[in-house]
């Protein structure tokens, strides 16, 4: 699908939002992207639950942001979907191949390491990594 068509289908799309080749979006009417945010090659946004991405975010290639899952209860999973919202604060960098799962909030100025699987909320101003993602260290803010 052409990039401009995808952008027009979003709930909200700010200025200077850039989609690199291969970005795919399902249920775009549930997704909002703030100003100056870039989505790298082959980023997949899977709406249904709300996805709110802040301003100045960098989402690296092959990242998956998915709001849907299945109830884990031993009953047939086919056709049974649960939805949760995802909120990504301003100035967040999500590294290559990260996966963000439902019911997660990522605080502003945080970094998600490459390959991390985020299953729980991430505070502001931290670096997280691993599977599942855990805090690695605080990020000291510097003046520009």
The domain that holds 19 is classified in CATH as 2.160.10.10
State residue 10 phi and psi, 5-degree precision.
Answer: -70, 155
Structural domain that includes position 19: 3-137
Decide if 25 is inside a domain: yes
**Rounded CA separation 141/76 (Å):** 47
CB 71: neighbour CB atoms within 10 A? 10
Decide if 144 is inside a domain: no
CA within 13 Å, CB half, 41? 1
**Residue 48 DSSP symbol:** S
Question: One of 36, 38, 44, 70 is an active-site residue; which one?
Answer: 70
CB 139: neighbour CB atoms within 10 A? 13
User: What pLDDT is recorded for position 144?
Assistant: 64
Structural domain count, the chain: 1
Known catalytic membership, residue 38: no
User: What pLDDT is recorded for position 2?
Assistant: 59
The alpha carbon torsion through 90, 93, 97, 99 (nearest 10 deg) reads -30
* 132, 115 Cβ separation under 8 angstroms: no
pLDDT in tens for each of the 144 residues of the chain?
A: 557 887 889 999 999 999 999 999 999 999 999 999 999 999 999 999 999 999 999 999 999 999 999 999 999 999 899 999 999 999 999 999 999 999 999 999 999 999 999 999 999 999 999 999 999 999 987 766
pTM score: 0.93
Cis status of the peptide bond prior to 132, with omega within 30 of 0:
yes
H/E element, 25: strand 24-26
């Amino acid at each position: 699908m052409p990039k401009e068509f995808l952008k027009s289908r979003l709930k909200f799309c700010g200025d200077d939002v850039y989609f690199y080749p291969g970005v795919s979006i399902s249920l775009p009417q549930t997704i909002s992207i703030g100003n100056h945010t870039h989505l790298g090659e082959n980023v997949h946004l899977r709406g249904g639950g709300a996805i709110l991405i802040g301003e100045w975010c960098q989402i690296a290639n092959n990242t998956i942001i998915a709001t849907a899952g299945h109830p884990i209860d031993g009953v047939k999973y086919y056709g049974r979907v649960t939805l949760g919202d995802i909120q990504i604060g301003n100035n967040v960098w999500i590294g290559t191949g990260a996966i963000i799962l439902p019911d997660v909030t990522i605080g502003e100025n945080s970094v998600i390491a490459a390959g991390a699987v985020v299953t729980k909320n991430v505070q502001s101003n931290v670096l997280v990594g691993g599977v599942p993602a855990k805090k690695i260290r605080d990020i000291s803010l510097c003046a520009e």
